[in-house]
Structure 1
Amino acid sequence: MSRAAHPFLLAAPPDAAFPPAELALAEPNGLLAVGGDLTPVRLLNAYAGGIFPWFSEGQPILWWSPDPRMVFHTDGVHLSSRFRRALRASAWTVTADTAFAEVMQACASAPRPGQDGTWITAGMHRAYVELHRLGHAHSVEVFDGPQLVGGIYGVAIGRMFFGESMFSGRSGGSKVALAALAHVLHGWGWPLIDAQVENPHLLGMGAVHLPRDLFLARVRALVREAESPPGGSWTRRFGRWPAAVLAGGNAV
């Protein structure tokens, strides 16, 4: 254990400081604090410190910073050759911030192997929709005509994107959403997407481990940099474009 085997209890004011993420428990891996709330200021302070909330219905709010951390380099998202061949003939289109609440709801409803229920509670949904309204949370949507077939959402601070969840309504929908997000962020000069914790799907798409100390150093630098483009809705600057654009190479 890195310290006594219990998490910190957060102070009541929403702007109260988090303990340093380096003090998170070794078991369970990354548990740092308990309590607090999901107000915008609390959430933004958490992400800026390399911390995220993750808890189930009926639990207190739990805050985590695991070691190592799973991340994508924005020029390192991998799409298989077979998937790219299929994508060349796809009529899907990609947008941003046109259906944030719907993407969150689809992520909450998506079945997850080994999971019973969802950690995206009604309170989490309300909190991130509010962050989206304030211009800090964003979604990428994949459409087949008018039908939403994939998406991803997360939080942006400075030049750092913290991925929260993604879903596929059709096979490959989440892959397209993630690859499109990485493609655009790389063009904006944003180097990393936080993917939080390991799973085989993320590893297969090119996610890598960063030791927590290195991850925190990168995050603390990136969140202080001016967001380029500046905050607010991404709909116009992201545009609407064919998913087939992503079929051009191994990584986007």
Structure 2
Amino acid sequence: MSRVDRESVFVLHRRPWRDTSLIIELLSARHGRIAGVARGARSAKSAFFGLTEPFRGLEASWTRRGEMVTLTGLEPTGRTTRLAGRAMWCGLYANELLLRLTPRDDPDPAIFDAYSCLLPALTTPSRQSNALRRFEMSLLNALGVAPELDVDSQAGTPVDAEGRYRVDPVAGPFAVPARRGGVRGSVLLALASGGEIAAEDDAAALRVMRELVDHQLDGRKLNTPAFFRENPS
């Protein structure tokens, strides 16, 4: 049996288990995504009660005998970000991506850092779109599945900020005539560098990232995009 003490984590998801317990999905820099049993956590008498909502930053302790860990301690930290309204749905979307795309017990500090930066950014409405696009790219890069968005995949030349491109989710962008639409190269360069995307380019950046993310989901559906379709602003 192995033991971990006071590991920094974020709560991604929780679901009821048996009469009064919860199974909690946690994200850790050193241990990756883990699933833990919080025994009795739904009881008001439990030391875990009120500490397991999504986005909560915690120091967690646990023991492991198999695939799932048993949580032995949860302590609040100052890293908890309170999200409400659209910010909450943005955060839940990010949590769903982590649950669907990251394997358990496969640590990557870059993913943990990207998530740590995302949550506080979501509290400012004007930063939400940029924050989500940056997180999506960081996640795909960390997983090793993001195409190079700053290189024309067919010509092998740098993407031209004034050019027009289509994006293959595996190979990356390729130039197209302006009359065929496509996305401006400046949008691809901003996505590749993690730079700011102008408000008028939000929709184009969203289309690019949706194609890349959907390719990785491989037909698996997310719950949160339904909210965004009904509440686009």
TM-score (norm 1): 0.26
Structure with more contact order per residue of length (Cα contacts < 8 Å, sep ≥ 6)? 1
Who wins on radius of gyration, i.e. which is larger? 2
TM-score (norm 2): 0.27
